[in-house]
């Protein structure tokens, strides 16, 4: 059985990957690149899936992170793959993912013994 800490690392790695995939790109370049879109969507799916596997107690203990929104975005991308709003994905990458990385790094710092 995997731990909450393992899922947090999955989320952090996928969030970092998502940003790395579009580093130096404009929205127009992202919108024109199926390769980058698919890479980012997969990373966001991983973030949402890992978030959904965190224990309810952990999620409740950390209400400053919008778990439902994170999980909801994953569901929209997986189940509504035929109508993805790439502007919304881009805005999430630019606004929310960097903030999520900061929160995840802080949580993982707390989880470390010492």
Residue 15 near residue 43, CB atoms below 8 Å: yes
Q: Which helix (H) or strand (E) holds 103?
A: helix 97-111
> For 17-30, what is the HEC assignment?
HHHHHCCCCCHHHH
Q: Which residues are catalytic?
A: 74, 79
Which tokens belong to 50?
């890992």
H-helix or E-strand spanning residue 35: helix 34-53
| CA angle (14 as vertex; 12, 17 as ends), nearest 5 | 110
> In angstroms, what is the C-alpha Rg of the chain?
14
């Amino acid at each position: 059985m995997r731990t909450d800490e393992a899922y947090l690392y999955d989320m952090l790695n996928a969030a970092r990957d998502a940003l790395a995939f579009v580093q130096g790109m404009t929205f127009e370049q992202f919108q024109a690149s199926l390769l980058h879109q698919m890479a980012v969507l997969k990373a966001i799916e991983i973030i949402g899936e890992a978030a959904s596997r965190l224990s309810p107690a952990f999620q409740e203990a950390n209400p400053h992170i919008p778990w439902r929104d994170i999980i909801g975005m994953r569901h929209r991308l997986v189940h509504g793959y035929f109508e993805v709003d790439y502007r919304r994905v881009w805005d999430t990458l630019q606004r929310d993912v960097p903030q999520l990385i900061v929160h995840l790094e802080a949580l993982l710092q707390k989880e470390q013994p010492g």
